Amino acid sequence: MKVFLQGKGQGLAWTLPFLLVWGGTAGAQDSTLLQGANRPSVARPASASQPEPMVLPDPVRFGHAMELGDMFQARRWLEGGLDPEFEADRIGTGLMIGAWSGNIPLMELFLAHGGTVEHRNSLGETALLLAAWKGQIGAVSWLLDHGAAVNRPNGQWTALHYGAFAGHQEVVDLLLARGGDINARSPNGSSVLMMAVYDGHEAMAKHLLERGADPKVRNEWGDGALEWAVKFDHMTLARAISSPEEFAAVANRPRSDWGLARRSEQAPAELERLLQIRRAMQAKGYNVERIDGRIAAARAKYARISSQALPPSAMALEISAKRANPKDQSTRLVGQDSRSGRTKKAKTTP
């Protein structure tokens, strides 16, 4: 998944490791491809006369084994000279993969061999950010206890941004209790509250407001939490974080003002499953030509579906009042169905 947060003069694409979160169960036709590929390594006694040579892993093999929680293989590699900050093809180091998956023993193992809690992957993320994104409350607590920084200088993503975006209130509360800055700003100036609003986490957004989040914070485009709520059609949430006057002013802006509302989308289950199979096969050294063909076909299919998607309907705010009692008002959103051209209305207040 990619979350596109473009700033002035730059195209900032925040690419989170959750792009390849695996979901679903392999179908019957995939079972032979997966057979044996997802099994952790099993200890085999070496011959007394011919010790088994140590072969350090490549990033794919390393990542696959660590995500499976293969403690035996991790210890063997580390004792055989593997750099404790060696990074997998995704997520990061062994300690970071442990944080991502909530595997505290794996984190402890890499820490004991010289790994650090503040190591940054190629995206600038730390283990604490990854644990917060995945809602791994135990890993978040462990990392904080072992010196992970809850705050980062303004202009960097924080664990609070990640936790709020994913809707993990327990994680957010723990981070706040440990001194997290509720109004921390991202690389493009977006706030923690804005990240909760972006994905429509109404309860999270209200909770952040109760905890002191500033709804007036604006990013470098000039957008704030209210603008994002309207842009992404979270109208109930927009009303909750604004006054009636603020809501009316923003909701009445032309749809063309907002530009393309680019949303986070998880890869379709079929494509996720195929990517899972490919990675498991690659980690075991199997030929991936056949599965690559299936992945290409799946991507082409979903690209066609995506290109046929209709644009969002144009919406405006209609306010009605009675002459006898002007204060008795109601509002509703009025839009045009892009398929039929007919007007459609959605009441927003009594």
DSSP calls for 140-178:
HHHHHHTT--S---TTS--HHHHHHHHT-HHHHHHHHHT
The answer to whether residue 46 sits within a structural domain is no
Q: What is the CATH number of the domain that holds 90?
A: 1.25.40.20
Lowest-pLDDT range of 92-101, 234-243, 321-330: 321-330
Average pLDDT of the chain? 78
Give me the domain span that covers residue 284. 2-40+53-312
The answer to whether residue 48 sits within a structural domain is no
Higher pLDDT, 320 or 94: 94
The pLDDT value given to residue 260:
60
Q: Is the CB of residue 54 less than 8 Å from the CB of residue 82?
A: no
Whole-number Å distance between alpha carbons of 2 and 304: 19
- Supply angle C-alpha 160, 166, 172, rounded to 5: 35
Lowest-pLDDT range of 34-38, 254-258, 259-263: 34-38
Total domains in the fold of the chain: 2
Q: Is the CB of residue 268 less than 8 Å from the CB of residue 306?
A: no
Q: Are residues 98 and 108 in the same domain?
A: yes
pLDDT at residue 317 greater than cutoff 90: no
The answer to whether residue 324 sits within a structural domain is yes
Q: Are residues 193 and 284 in the same domain?
A: yes
The pLDDT value given to residue 107:
99
Question: How far does Cα 306 stand from its chain's mean position?
Answer: 21
The pLDDT value given to residue 271:
76
The answer to whether residue 255 sits within a structural domain is yes
The answer to whether residue 217 sits within a structural domain is yes
Q: Are residues 216 and 325 in the same domain?
A: no
pLDDT at residue 265 greater than cutoff 70: no
Q: What is the average per-residue pLDDT within 255-275?
A: 69
pLDDT tens track for 130-185: 999 999 999 999 999 999 999 998 889 999 999 999 999 999 999 999 999 999 99
Q: Are residues 305 and 179 in the same domain?
A: yes
Handedness of CA 271, 273, 276, 277 (dihedral sign): negative
The answer to whether residue 282 sits within a structural domain is yes
End-to-end CA distance of the chain: 38
Q: Can you give the length of the chain in residues?
A: 350
The SS3 call for residue 203 is helix
Q: Are residues 166 and 304 in the same domain?
A: yes
Q: Are residues 150 and 274 in the same domain?
A: yes
Q: Are residues 20 and 95 in the same domain?
A: yes
Residue 33's H or E segment, with its range, is helix 31-34
Q: Are residues 105 and 95 in the same domain?
A: yes
pLDDT tens track for 230-250: 888 888 899 988 888 988 888
What is the tally of helices (H) and strands (E) in the chain?
16, 5
Q: Are residues 336 and 202 in the same domain?
A: no
The answer to whether residue 348 sits within a structural domain is yes
pLDDT at residue 125 greater than cutoff 90: yes
Q: Are residues 326 and 243 in the same domain?
A: no
Q: Is the CB of residue 215 less than 8 Å from the CB of residue 209?
A: yes
Give the contacts of 185 (CB within 8 A, at least 6 positions apart).
154, 155, 191, 217, 219
Q: Are residues 70 and 100 in the same domain?
A: yes
The answer to whether residue 45 sits within a structural domain is no
Q: Is the CB of residue 291 less than 8 Å from the CB of residue 277?
A: yes
136 CB burial (10 A radius; 0-12, 13-18, 19+): buried
Q: Is the CB of residue 100 less than 8 Å from the CB of residue 131?
A: yes
- Supply angle C-alpha 196, 63, 145, rounded to 5: 55
The pLDDT value given to residue 262:
60
pLDDT at residue 306 greater than cutoff 80: no
Q: Are residues 347 and 234 in the same domain?
A: no
Higher pLDDT, 98 or 339: 98
The pLDDT value given to residue 334:
46
Q: Residue 213's pLDDT band (boundaries 50, 70, 90)? A: very high
Q: Is the CB of residue 159 less than 8 Å from the CB of residue 140?
A: yes
With CA atoms as reference, report the closest residue to 269 among 309, 298, 242, 249: 298
Whole-number Å distance between alpha carbons of 68 and 148: 24
Higher pLDDT, 104 or 258: 104
